[in-house]
C-alpha cells in the first residue's frame, strides 16, 4: 500500500496563503509606519491619516449621508482609521482584510462599532454581499494578475456601487503597468503608473462613473476616488 496522498493546495489556496503572510509581515514590522500610541506596526500608511483621509471622509459623507439603509463592505480595510470615520454612514458594515493579525486587532480595538471584521482575500475568497463596496488604496498593491482575480470575483457580486481609491501619478500616465503584489505601488515604477480598472488589460464596464475626489500628494501624485455605478437599478 502506498503512502496516502496529501492534497496539493489549489492556486487559490496558495495565493491566499502568500498574500496573507506578505501583508501580515508588513504590519508586523510596521513597514508603512507605526501606531504611536500602541507602539505597534498596525498602521496602513500616510494615506490613512491627515488631510487625505479627512477629504475622503468628507466626500463619502456628501455622497451617502442622505441615502439611509445601505450596507457597505470595505475590501482591504487596513488599520480601520478611515473605516471607523465612515462606519456610521451605513446600516451594516463588513470590513475585510487579507492580514489575519490585523483583523484580530481590529476586532478588539473597534468592538464598539458593530463591524463584522473578516480575514478574507479579495482575489481568492467570495466577496460578502452589500450595496456599496469600498476599496481604498488596495488594488495599487496588487499585481495585474491579482487584480484580474479580484475583477472575476467582483463580477459574481451585485454591488450597486464600487467606491475605488487609487494613487495615481500627477498628469498623464500609462495606466496598469504591471507590478508585484506587495507593499509598494506603481508610483515606484519608472515611469510611474497607477491602476485604472476601465483601461486594458482590465475590463470593468460601469453603468457610469464619477470622480468624487482628487487629493494631491505633493511630489508624489494624487489620490483619486471614483464612484463606479455597477448596476442600473
Ligand X SMILES: C[S@@+](CC[C@H](N)C(=O)[O-])C[C@H]1O[C@@H](n2cnc3c(N)ncnc32)[C@H](O)[C@@H]1O
Q: Which window, 118-126, 155-163, 190-198, 211-219, contacts ligand X (CB under 6 A)?
A: 118-126
**Rounded to whole angstroms, how far apart are CA atoms 19 and 97?**
10
Q: Which of residues 42-81 bind ligand X (CB under 6 A)?
A: 44-45, 47-48, 76-78
Contact status: 138 vs ligand X (CB under 6 A): yes
Q: Which of residues 18-47 bind ligand X (CB under 6 A)?
A: 19, 23, 44-45, 47
Peptide bond into 157 cis (omega under 30): no
Q: What's the burial of 233, exposed, middle or buried (CB within 10 Å: 0-12/13-18/19+)?
A: exposed
> For cell 508610483, what's the residue?
187
Contact status: 82 vs ligand X (CB under 6 A): yes
Q: Which of residues 156-215 bind ligand X (CB under 6 A)?
A: none
The only residue of 105, 141, 168, 186 in contact with ligand X, by rule CB under 6 A:
141
The only residue of 106, 131, 137, 226 in contact with ligand X, by rule CB under 6 A:
137
Closest CA to 24 of 93, 78, 83, 73: 78
**Rounded to whole angstroms, how far apart are CA atoms 214 and 226?**
9
Which residues here bind ligand X, judged by CB under 6 A?
19, 23, 44-45, 47-48, 76-78, 82, 96-99, 121-123, 136-138, 141-142
Amino acid at each position: 500500500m502506498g503512502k496516502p496522498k496529501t492534497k496539493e493546495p489549489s492556486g487559490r489556496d496558495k495565493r491566499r496563503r502568500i498574500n496573507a503572510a506578505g501583508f501580515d509581515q508588513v504590519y508586523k514590522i510596521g513597514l508603512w509606519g507605526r501606531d504611536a500610541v500602541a507602539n505597534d506596526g498596525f498602521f496602513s500608511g500616510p494615506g490613512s491619516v491627515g488631510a487625505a483621509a479627512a477629504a475622503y471622509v468628507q466626500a463619502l459623507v456628501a455622497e451617502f449621508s442622505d441615502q439611509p439603509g445601505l450596507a457597505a463592505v470595505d475590501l482591504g480595510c487596513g488599520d480601520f482609521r478611515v473605516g471607523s470615520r465612515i462606519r456610521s454612514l451605513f446600516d451594516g458594515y463588513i470590513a475585510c482584510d487579507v492580514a489575519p493579525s490585523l483583523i484580530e486587532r481590529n476586532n478588539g480595538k473597534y468592538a464598539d462599532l458593530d463591524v463584522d471584521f473578516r480575514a478574507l482575500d479579495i482575489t481568492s475568497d467570495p466577496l460578502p454581499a452589500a450595496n456599496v463596496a469600498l476599496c481604498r488604496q488596495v488594488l495599487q498593491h496588487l499585481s495585474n494578475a491579482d487584480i484580474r482575480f479580484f475583477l472575476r470575483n467582483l463580477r459574481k457580486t451585485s454591488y450597486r456601487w464600487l467606491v475605488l481609491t487609487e494613487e495615481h501619478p500627477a498628469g498623464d500616465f500609462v495606466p496598469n503597468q504591471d507590478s508585484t503584489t506587495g507593499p509598494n505601488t506603481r508610483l515606484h515604477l519608472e515611469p510611474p503608473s497607477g491602476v485604472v480598472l476601465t483601461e486594458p488589460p482590465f475590463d470593468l464596464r460601469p453603468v457610469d462613473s464619477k470622480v468624487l475626489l482628487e487629493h494631491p500628494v505633493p511630489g508624489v501624485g494624487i489620490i483619486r476616488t471614483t464612484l463606479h455605478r455597477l448596476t442600473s437599478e
